[in-house]
Structure 1
């Protein structure tokens, strides 16, 4: 019998007159076991939650965003994309434009950040379009229709609005 087991059993087993000590030892051991079990479960849940959140964030956004210091446009972005894609550990690259916007609906107005993307390239680097719950992301690939009247305003470009913002603004698929 190993020494550690011998010492543990010696102090856990009570003599005939000390049965109360044996009951208290059993309750203490069960309490410690329950505490360790709760700690292991909490750590497992926390780790799983962190990994799930990290996967969702990384899946919807890029690992690296390359921006100009002066906040101006990148004039040679096609050459830059080609150079980035030639790097050994880069699996994909896609251009994006970020801008602050003010959105007005018949019910409410709200500020937001507009992200303009090349839909074809965006599909190669993220799973953003897989999270769309209403409408069709393929509308982003279609060329804009020709206007019958040259003096008419151009047709609205397709736009993806987040679920919460759409609810707050009271807009639905097909609204312009």
Structure 2
């Protein structure tokens, strides 16, 4: 153990005969604990919301979609499917047909997006993220799988028959509205009310018959083996897709949502980072008071030949001990709060608004390292002034009347 560290340990941890120093040391460590924990929990909550949103979105939406710029509905291209299925990380590629329609039950109606695809593809790509609420998935015949929000608005339940209406332009004797009676076989919930109020799924054959688009599709939905490769596969598709085809990833489709989240991160972290800054300032006041209280001891050390630079190191070591102790305890406290929140749900929120029923906290090792590193750097910077003041003590003036 180096001499400076030994003295710092004795003065901070095992100080005897003076209760003031342990008290202000405890306050400094407590401030660092609160500042570190506040910053980590804030970053963990933001990270938790982002991870939850990504999980929800990549669950109820395809990772990538291929559409046609020229035609809203176009013929299947088997060669295109075979070529892209050979690309790495593409797990499934399925045709789909979608259209905005009106759904009506008795005297109630609502606008929805109807997506039609093969039942096997639906179960593989979109079904895992949907919580069955009532009934079951069955795309045989004229049937649909309805979002819970739409079902609540219309007042329907599995087994009821509803009408789908498609209106193109102004209805007239030469342009009548298309009407298709379908049976509701099941109701699902995604956990996001806005999507539950606007989505319904059906079989591809039923959709092509209702939309009078035989053997035509709106595009392909692509499922990847890992969402981390979304950008890589999207770039590969851009290079290989011939005109007029184009691809859109889940990030592109929900760009505004994630852009909003990124915009919120910086000011929130800066605001809570001020707590850590206050803790660093508290270290300055703590060390300055220690210097004032221990001026006599510092003078004795200098009179015995201890160099000023070693005195400076001593107080820098004091600041390092306080910051390390406070930041480590702050990290442990924040990890305990994360575990308790995700296990017991101490703080609940509305699932209709925030997609989850409890405040999500996800503290990654990277967040912990960044916060701890920042806390230690701030503490060392804060220790420079008290250390310089201590090294400038003049033994003659302090010990003159001793």
CA distance in 2, matches of 1:120, 1:7: 72
Aligned to 2:158: 173
1:2-25: CA deviation from partner (whole Å, max 9, x where unpaired): 577457546636674x53343122
Gaps of 5+ in 1: 145-156
Change in 2 beyond 3 A, CA 1:38/1:12:
same
* Shift in alpha-carbon separation, 1:110–1:2, aligned structure 2, 3 A: farther
Q: Normalising by structure 1, what TM-score?
A: 0.74
The change in CA–CA distance for 1:119 and 1:20 in structure 2 (over 3 A counts) is same
> Cα deviation per residue 1:108-145 (whole Å; 9 max; x = unaligned)?
322121111111123333444752221111x21x3x3x
Q: How does 1:26-175 map to 2 (within 5 A)?
A: 26-128=26-128, 131-137=131-137, 139-140=138-139, 142=140, 144=141, 157-175=142-160
- CA change 1:103–1:69 in 2 (3 A) is same
1:72 positional shift: 2.1
**SS of 2:62's equivalent?**
coil
Structure 2 portions without partners, runs of 5+:
162-402
CA contact (8 A) 1:77 1:95 kept: no
Report what 1:151 is aligned to. Answer: none
Structure with greater Cα Rg = 2
Task: Look up the SS of the partner of 1:44 in the other structure.
Answer: helix
Q: Which has the higher helix share?
A: 2
User: 1:61·1:126 contact (CA, 8 Å) conserved in 2?
Assistant: yes
- Provide the secondary structure at the position in 2 that maps to 1:65: strand
Higher normalized contact order (CA 8 Å, seq sep 6+, divided by chain length): 2
Q: Which structure shows the bigger proportion of residues in strand conformation?
A: 2
* Paired residues, number: 160
When the two structures are superposed, what TM-score results if normalisation uses the length of structure 2? 0.35
Conserved 8 A contact 1:123-1:129: no
